[in-house]
Amino acid sequence: MKLSDDDVIIPFFQPIIAVDTRKISGYEVLGRVRTRDGVYSLGPFFHDPAVPEGAKVEADRLIRQKALELVAATGIKANVFLNIQPQWACSFLGRAERLPTLDYLQTYGIPGDQIVIEISEAGAFVTPKDLAELAGRYREAGCKVALDDFGLEFNNLERIFILKPDFLKISTALSGGTSNKAIFCSLLKVLGLFARETGLELMLEGVETETQFLEGLDAGVRYFQGYFFAPPQPGLLNEDGFAALVARELDRYASGKVKHRSGELEIVEQMNALLNDLSNAADRLDKCLCWLLCAASPSWIRVYVCDGYGYQQTPNYVRNGMGNWLPQYEYVGRNWCWRPYFLPYVVEAARKRQGVLSAEYLDLESHRPIRTFVYPLGADRFLFIDLDADSEGFAGTEERDPG
């Protein structure tokens, strides 16, 4: 893609929404070119190997300069996310000369803490040492750092250790289509947990549908960006412009979660009512299990007993193709305390003296979504009942636990 002398390079701004305040918390700056035929993305220009590197660097800096000039003129306080190609800035490393972006901040009187530097995937060609030094130069000026398109191209876990980013940007493009939706949602939840435990801010970009927005909420995402809210545009918007939309979606999300949780608690009550009759037979484990398997509902897929330290004391009882229960003796003596769900639910069940229901997770062997009901039998023994999470009783429940 070549630019003519009549083409004008301009910055566009795509709003980033914070769900807690329901306001625009920032903008990502994106490059556009205005031609006689209309306005087009500069993406093809930057990715065209025929375009000289110097021309790309010049255009890249012009976009940032014009964007920051507009930010200063409007006086907005929202964060400004600037895409940086590390390989174009590394020539400044080891020199006293200030980075061009930091010069623009001084020229327009913009504080560094208003700027978030997005490190792009092109930084794969920069050594880890230089990448860390570059991020440090921006941080010295008060800027924050975001790792862009995490999981795509070259942006992998190593980058987190190198950059120690403030923001982790996840693109919906990572799902690669509807066939990978379940895996993507699980990964998003894992990253949400990781972000909470490490102090990272998680941002979901490329959000185009309500479903993607709700999936982000389910993973604990705080910041959202995408066409579901607004496309990139040449001007800056009222910070409350999407408050009504976000409030409506949050209300819908909360209402659905309350309904789902109420349904779960009803299932827990039903299971406990059934299993409370075991109290008289708990001292006879074989009699207890025989009675239980006869009373089992179609949603039960596995039944077994462990002690409080994770050692399995009985076989697995699983259904065959005819619906009859068969023992799997090879599981006796195995230990499951290393499974993330095990000890927390065992402790909770013992403390409450009643059964508790796990979040949904994928079974290690069948790869089916299941939920485990843990019931205290006394004498440091616990009954585990694996339930089909796709059964009618769990219809509509969306919680997933990677454990």
Structure confidence by residue, pLDDT tens digits, 23-32 = 999 999 999 9
pTM attached to this predicted model: 0.85
d(CA 389, CA 396): 10
Judged against a pLDDT cut of 60, whether residue 399 lies above it is answered with no
In this structure, which amino acid lies at residue 111? P
In a domain, 91, yes or no: yes
Q: How confident is the model at residue 401 (pLDDT cuts 50, 70, 90)?
A: very low
> pLDDT tier at 398 (50, 70, 90 boundaries)?
very low
pLDDT digits (tens, 9 = 90+) for 80-136: 999 988 888 877 877 778 899 999 999 999 999 999 999 875 555 778 888 888 899
Of the candidates 297, 257, 288, 260, the residue with the CA atom closest to the CA atom of residue 375: 288
Q: What angle do CA 28, 29, 31 make, to 5 degrees?
A: 140
Region of residue 56 (phi > 0: left; psi between -120 and 50: alpha; otherwise: beta)? alpha
* pLDDT confidence of residue 95: 76
Q: Is 41 helix (H, G, I), strand (E, B) or coil?
A: strand
Residue 151 and residue 207 share a domain: yes
Residue 2, domain member (yes or no): no
**Residue ranges making up the domain that contains 325:** 268-394
Same domain, 155 and 297: no
Question: Tens digits of per-residue pLDDT, 303-324?
Answer: 999 999 999 999 999 998 888 9
Residues 136 and 57 in one domain: yes
So what's the pLDDT on residue 374? 96
Q: What is the DSSP string of 369-390?
A: EEEEEEEEEETTEEEEEEEETT
> Does residue 51 share a domain with residue 133?
yes
CATH number (domain holding residue 113): 3.20.20.450
CA torsion sign, 300 to 302 to 306 to 309?
negative
Do 235 and 273 belong to one domain?
A: no
Per the CB < 8 A criterion, the answer to whether 17 and 25 are in contact is yes
259 falls within a domain: no
Rounded CA Rg of the chain: 27
The two structure tokens encoding residue 59: 């255009």
pLDDT at position 126, please? 79
| pLDDT for residue 121 | 59
The answer to whether the beta carbons of residues 233 and 18 sit under 8 Å apart is no
Angle in degrees, 0-180, between the axes of helices 100-108 and 128-140, rounded to the nearest 10: 10
Instruction: Provide the pLDDT confidence category of residue 283 given band limits of 50, 70 and 90.
Output: low
Q: Identify whether residues 284 and 169 lie together within a single domain.
A: no
- Same domain for 275 and 237, yes or no, is no
Number of structural domains, the chain?
Answer: 2
Residue 130 resides in a domain: yes
Contact indicator for 29, 247 with CB cutoff of 8 Å: no
Are 22 and 103 in a shared domain?
yes
Please provide the distance, in angstroms rounded to a whole number, between the alpha carbons at the two ends of the chain: 48
Burial of 371 (0-12, 13-18, 19+ CB in 10 A): buried
Whether 271 and 386 have beta carbons less than 8 Å apart is answered as no
Any domain includes 198: yes
